[in-house]
A and B are shown apart, each in its own frame.
Chain A
Amino acid sequence: MQDGERTSVVRGALQRIGSFLVTLALTFLGLTAVTFLISRLTKIDPVLAIVGDKASNEVYQRTFVALGLDQPVIVQYGAYLKRLLSGDFGVSVLTAQPVLSDLVRVFPATFELATIATIIGVLVGVPAGVIAGARKGRWPDHLVRVVGLFGYSVPVFWLGLVGLFVFYGKLGWVSGTGRLDIFYEDIVTPHTGVILIDSAVAGEWQIFGNAFGHLILPAGILGYYSLAYVARMTRSFMIDQLSQEYVTAARIKGRSFWGAVWLHAFPNILVPLITVIGLSYASLLEGAVLTETVFAWPGLGLYITRALFNSDMNAVLGGTVLVGAVFIGVNLFCDLLYKVFDPRLRNA
Chain B
Amino acid sequence: MSGNLTQWLMSEAPASRRQAVLGNAWRGLLAIVFNPAALAGLCIVAVLVLMAIFAPQLAGGISPIEQNLASRLAPPSAEHWFGTDELGRDIYARTLHGARVTLTIVMLVSVVVAPVGLAVGTFAGYLGGWIDAVLMRITDIFLAFPRLVLALAFAAALGPGIENAVIAISLTAWPPYARIARSETVTIAKSDFILAVVMQGASTWRVLFKHIVPLCLSSVIVRLTLDMAGIILTAAGLGFLGLGAQPPSAEWGAMVSAGRDVILDQWWVATIPGIAIFIVSLGFNLLGDGLRDVFDPKSS
A153 B144 Cβ-Cβ under 8 A: no
Please measure, in the bound complex, the distance between the C-alpha atom of A246 and the C-alpha atom of B54, giving whole angstroms: 59
B233 A23 Cβ-Cβ under 8 A: no
Please measure, in the bound complex, the distance between the C-alpha atom of A49 and the C-alpha atom of B229, giving whole angstroms: 39
Partner of B146, one of A26, A316, A324: A324
- Interface size for chain B: under 10, 10 to 19, 20 to 34, or 35 or more residues? 35 or more
Q: Judge if B98 is at the interface, Cβ distance under 8 Å.
A: no
A153 B285 Cβ-Cβ under 8 A: yes
Total interface residues on A, CB under 8 Å, equals 51
Q: B residues within 8 A CB of A39? A: 157
Q: Judge if B209 is at the interface, Cβ distance under 8 Å.
A: no
B17-25, B79-87, B267-275 - the one binding chain A: B267-275
Q: Is the interface of A mostly helix, strand, loop or mixed?
A: helix
A43 B153 Cβ-Cβ under 8 A: no
Please measure, in the bound complex, the distance between the C-alpha atom of A94 and the C-alpha atom of B132, giving whole angstroms: 44
Q: Judge if A92 is at the interface, Cβ distance under 8 Å.
A: no
If A34-B145, A169-B264, A320-B149 touch, whether A313 touches B281 (CB-CB below 8 Å) is no
Please measure, in the bound complex, the distance between the C-alpha atom of A153 and the C-alpha atom of B257, giving whole angstroms: 18
Closest to B280 in A: A153
Q: Judge if A290 is at the interface, Cβ distance under 8 Å.
A: yes
A327 B256 Cβ-Cβ under 8 A: no
Q: Judge if B295 is at the interface, Cβ distance under 8 Å.
A: no
B27-35, B89-97, B134-142, B187-195 - the one binding chain A: B134-142
Q: Judge if A76 is at the interface, Cβ distance under 8 Å.
A: no
Partner of A41, one of B157, B263, B270, B271: B157
Please measure, in the bound complex, the distance between the C-alpha atom of A149 and the C-alpha atom of B282, giving whole angstroms: 7
Q: Judge if A48 is at the interface, Cβ distance under 8 Å.
A: no
Q: Judge if B117 is at the interface, Cβ distance under 8 Å.
A: no
Q: Judge if B154 is at the interface, Cβ distance under 8 Å.
A: yes
Partner of B277, one of A155, A169, A304, A317: A155
> What's the nearest-Cβ distance from chain A to residue B32, in Å?
17
> What's the nearest-Cβ distance from chain A to residue B36, in Å?
12
Q: Judge if A183 is at the interface, Cβ distance under 8 Å.
A: no
If A161-B270, A165-B264, A324-B145 touch, whether A155 touches B278 (CB-CB below 8 Å) is yes
Interface string of A4-15 (1 = CB under 8 A from B): 000000000000
A313 B157 Cβ-Cβ under 8 A: yes
Please measure, in the bound complex, the distance between the C-alpha atom of A322 and the C-alpha atom of B113, giving whole angstroms: 26
Partner of A34, one of B150, B152, B241, B271: B150
Q: Judge if B242 is at the interface, Cβ distance under 8 Å.
A: yes
Q: B residues within 8 A CB of A34? A: 145, 150
The residue in B150, B236, B242, B277 that gathers the most chain A C-beta atoms within 10 A of its C-beta is: B150
Partner of B240, one of A41, A152, A154, A157: A157
Interface string of A307-348 (1 = CB under 8 A from B): 011010100110110011001100110000000000000000
Q: A residues within 8 A CB of B53? A: none
Question: Which B residues, 192 to 238, have Cβ-Cβ distances below 8 Å to chain A?
Answer: 229, 233, 236-237
Please measure, in the bound complex, the distance between the C-alpha atom of A17 and the C-alpha atom of B92, giving whole angstroms: 57
Interface string of A139-164 (1 = CB under 8 A from B): 00000000001101111111001101
A161 B260 Cβ-Cβ under 8 A: yes
If A152-B285, A305-B241 touch, whether A161 touches B149 (CB-CB below 8 Å) is no
Q: B residues within 8 A CB of A35? A: 153
Question: Which B residues, 129 to 171, have Cβ-Cβ distances below 8 Å to chain A?
Answer: 137-138, 140-142, 144-150, 152-154, 156-159
Q: A residues within 8 A CB of B267? A: 165
Please measure, in the bound complex, the distance between the C-alpha atom of A156 and the C-alpha atom of B282, giving whole angstroms: 14
Q: A residues within 8 A CB of B101? A: none
Please measure, in the bound complex, the distance between the C-alpha atom of A157 and the C-alpha atom of B137, giving whole angstroms: 34
Please measure, in the bound complex, the distance between the C-alpha atom of A327 and the C-alpha atom of B260, giving whole angstroms: 29
A304 B149 Cβ-Cβ under 8 A: yes
Question: Which B residues, 170 to 193, have Cβ-Cβ distances below 8 Å to chain A?
Answer: none
Q: Judge if B125 is at the interface, Cβ distance under 8 Å.
A: no
Q: B residues within 8 A CB of A244? A: none
Q: Judge if B253 is at the interface, Cβ distance under 8 Å.
A: yes
Please measure, in the bound complex, the distance between the C-alpha atom of A182 and the C-alpha atom of B176, giving whole angstroms: 45
Q: A residues within 8 A CB of B150? A: 34, 320, 324
Closest to A300 in B: B149
Please measure, in the bound complex, the distance between the C-alpha atom of A314 and the C-alpha atom of B157, giving whole angstroms: 11
If A26-B137, A158-B278, A313-B157 touch, whether A308 touches B152 (CB-CB below 8 Å) is yes
Please measure, in the bound complex, the distance between the C-alpha atom of A164 and the C-alpha atom of B256, giving whole angstroms: 14
Q: Judge if B259 is at the interface, Cβ distance under 8 Å.
A: yes
Q: Judge if B286 is at the interface, Cβ distance under 8 Å.
A: yes
A327 B152 Cβ-Cβ under 8 A: no
> What's the nearest-Cβ distance from chain B to residue A306, in Å?
11
Q: Judge if A294 is at the interface, Cβ distance under 8 Å.
A: yes
Closest to A236 in B: B299
Q: A residues within 8 A CB of B153? A: 35, 38, 316-317, 320
B149 A153 Cβ-Cβ under 8 A: no
A153 B278 Cβ-Cβ under 8 A: yes
B149 A323 Cβ-Cβ under 8 A: yes
Q: B residues within 8 A CB of A313? A: 156-157
If A162-B274, A319-B149, A324-B149 touch, whether A38 touches B154 (CB-CB below 8 Å) is yes
The residue in A154, A158, A282, A332 that gathers the most chain B C-beta atoms within 10 A of its C-beta is: A158
B157 A155 Cβ-Cβ under 8 A: no
Known A154-B277, A157-B257, A332-B144; further 13 A-B contacts with Cβ < 8 A: A30-B145, A41-B154, A150-B282, A153-B278, A155-B233, A155-B253, A157-B256, A158-B274, A161-B260, A313-B156, A313-B157, A327-B146, A328-B144
Q: Which residues of A contact B (CB under 8 A)?
A: 23, 26-27, 30-31, 34-35, 38-39, 41-43, 149-150, 152-158, 161-162, 164-165, 169, 282-283, 285-287, 289-290, 293-294, 304-305, 308-309, 311, 313, 316-317, 319-320, 323-324, 327-328, 331-332
Selected A-B contacts with CB under 8 Å, 17 pairs: A31-B145, A38-B156, A42-B157, A42-B158, A149-B285, A152-B229, A153-B282, A155-B277, A156-B237, A161-B256, A162-B270, A162-B271, A287-B148, A289-B148, A289-B149, A308-B241, A320-B153
